[in-house]
Chains A and B, each alone.
Chain A
Amino acid sequence: MPSVQFRLNGAAIAVDADPDQMLLDVLRGLLGVTGPHFGCGAGECGACHVMVDDRAMTSCDMPMWSVADKDVVTLEGLGTVEQPHPLQRAFIFEQAMQCGYCASGILISAAALLKRNPSPTEAEVRAALDRNLCRCGSHNRMVRAVLRAASEMAAS
Chain B
Amino acid sequence: MSSPAPKLPVSLAANPRLSSWVRFSGDGHVAISPGKVEIGQGIVTALAQIAADELDVDIGRIEMIRASTAASPNEGVTSGSLSIQQSGRAFRHVCAEVRQRFLAAASERLGVDASLLSINDGTISGPGNVRTSYWELAGEVSLDHDAAPGATAKLATMRAVAGHSIQRVDIPDKVFAQPRFIHDRALPGLLHGRVLRPDISAARLIALDETAARAVAGLIAIARDGGFAGVVADSEVAAEAALKALRKSATWSAGEPLPDEDDLAGFLKSQPVETTVIDTRTATRREHARTLRRQYTRPYIAHASIAPSCAMARWNGDRVHVWTHSQGVYLLRADLAIVLKLPTENIVVEHMEGAGCYGHNAADDVALDAVLLAKAAGGRPVRVQWSRHDEMSHAPFGAAMAIEIEADLDADNEIVGWRHAIWSNGHAARPGRAGQPALLAATEIANPYPRMISTNPPAANGGGGDRNSVPLYDLPAWTITSHRLLTMPVRTSALRTLGGQGNVFAIESMLDEIAALRGEDPIAFRLRHLRDERARDVISAAARRAQWKPQKQAGIGHGVGFARYKNTGAYCAAIAEIEGADDIRVKRLTLAVDVGEAINPDGVINQIEGGAIQATSWVLKERVRFDRSRITSTSWTDYPILTFSEAPAVDVEIIQRSEIEPVGAGEAALGPVTAAIANAVFDCLGVRVRDLPITRDRIIAAMELAS
Interface residues of A (CB under 8 A from B): 21, 25, 28-29, 32, 34-35, 37-42, 44-45, 47, 74-76, 79-81, 84, 88, 91-92, 95, 97-104, 107, 123, 125-127, 129-130, 132-143
Contacts and interface: CB of A to CB of B under 8 A. Distances in A.
A100 B170 contact: yes
B171 A92 contact: yes
Given A76-B177, A98-B40, A135-B306, A141 B609 contact: yes
B644 A101 contact: no
Contacts of A21: 237
B457 interface: no
A135 B356 contact: yes
29 contacts: A25-B237, A32-B186, A37-B184, A38-B183, A40-B636, A42-B635, A44-B636, A45-B636, A47-B307, A84-B175, A92-B167, A92-B172, A95-B167, A97-B174, A98-B41, A98-B606, A99-B354, A100-B170, A100-B175, A101-B181, A104-B177, A107-B175, A126-B644, A127-B645, A129-B644, A135-B614, A139-B647, A141-B609, A143-B644
B388 interface: yes
Which of B42, B235, B647, B649 is packed against the most chain A CB atoms within 10 Å?
B647
Interface of B: 39-42, 167-168, 170-172, 174-177, 179-181, 183-184, 186, 235-237, 304-308, 353-358, 385, 387-388, 602, 606-607, 609-614, 617, 635-637, 641-645, 647, 649-650
A76 B184 CA distance: 13
Nearest to A35: B177
B171 A130 contact: no
B42 A45 contact: no
Contacts of B177: 34-35, 74-76, 104
Given A37-B183, A75-B177, A101-B356, A25 B40 contact: no
B459 to A, nearest CB: 29
A139 B613 contact: yes
B356 A136 contact: yes
Nearest to B385: A38
Nearest to B637: A44
Nearest to A77: B177
Contact of A139 (B39, B181, B183, B644): B644
A134 B645 contact: no
Given A21-B237, A38-B308, A39-B306, A126 B645 contact: yes
A122 to B, nearest CB: 10
Which of B177, B353, B358 is packed against the most chain A CB atoms within 10 Å?
B177
A137 B181 contact: no
A130 B167 CA distance: 27
A100 B174 CA distance: 6
A143 B643 CA distance: 12
A136 B183 contact: no
Given A37-B183, A39-B307, A99 B385 contact: no
B609 A140 contact: yes
A31 B303 CA distance: 31
B383 to A, nearest CB: 11
A81 B175 CA distance: 9
Contacts of B308: 38-39
B176 A100 contact: no
Contacts of B650: 140
A102 B643 CA distance: 13
Nearest to A99: B40
A134 B306 contact: yes
A140 to B, nearest CB: 6
B63 to A, nearest CB: 18
Given A126-B645, A139-B647, A98 B356 contact: yes
Which of B307, B611, B642 is packed against the most chain A CB atoms within 10 Å?
B307
